[in-house]
């Protein structure tokens, strides 16, 4: 790909190669949705504790899933403050879901909806990531081998 062709694809780069915020003022306001995921990987014991409400007291910081859920939702709402060239968006809905997908892993799914001029992909990715980081923080006292991996956008929809 030629340098000029790449510049045309990179919407956050102006004709002189400088980063800038994209002007979306001419775009229509439509409903937009995005879903992202991240994997929280930890010991079987840690996953068991996280997913068993009666064992939440075993975590020094308390009920990790509830805190991570709220942190992910808050992250979606504040993405425009965290990522310099993102537009601040009115978030109509944000949801964080935790699913055990293996004995040593939980899939974190973040779904975000807005009615705006630009999409919510970054908000969904940020929400999944922050929920994962929060689980990490909430469980680091009992598991030093955990990790967050596989952060990715799963779906995006623009209704017209």
Residues classed as catalytic: 137
In order of 2, 48, 56, 106, the CA distances from 146 in angstroms are: 42, 14, 18, 11
State phi, psi for 46 to the nearest 5 degrees.
Answer: -65, -45
Q: How many angstroms separate the CA atoms of 80 and 153, rounded?
A: 17
Angle CA 153–56–138, to nearest 5? 50
Residue 98 contacts residue 117 (beta carbons within 8 Å): no
């Amino acid at each position: 790909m030629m340098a000029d062709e790449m510049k045309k694809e990179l919407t956050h780069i102006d004709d002189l190669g400088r980063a800038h915020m994209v002007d979306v003022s001419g775009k229509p306001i439509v409903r937009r949705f995005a879903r992202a995921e991240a994997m929280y990987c930890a010991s079987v014991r840690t996953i068991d504790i996280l997913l068993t409400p009666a064992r939440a007291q075993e975590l020094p910081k308390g009920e990790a899933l509830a805190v991570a859920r709220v942190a992910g939702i808050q992250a979606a709402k504040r993405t425009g403050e965290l990522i310099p060239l993102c537009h601040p968006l009115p978030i109509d809905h944000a949801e964080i879901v935790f699913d055990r997908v293996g004995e040593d892993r939980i899939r974190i799914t973040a779904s975000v909806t807005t009615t705006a001029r630009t999409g919510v992909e970054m908000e969904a990715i940020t929400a999944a990531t922050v929920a994962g980081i929060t689980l990490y923080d909430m469980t680091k006292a009992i598991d030093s081998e955990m990790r967050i991996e596989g952060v990715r956008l799963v779906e995006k929809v623009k209704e017209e």
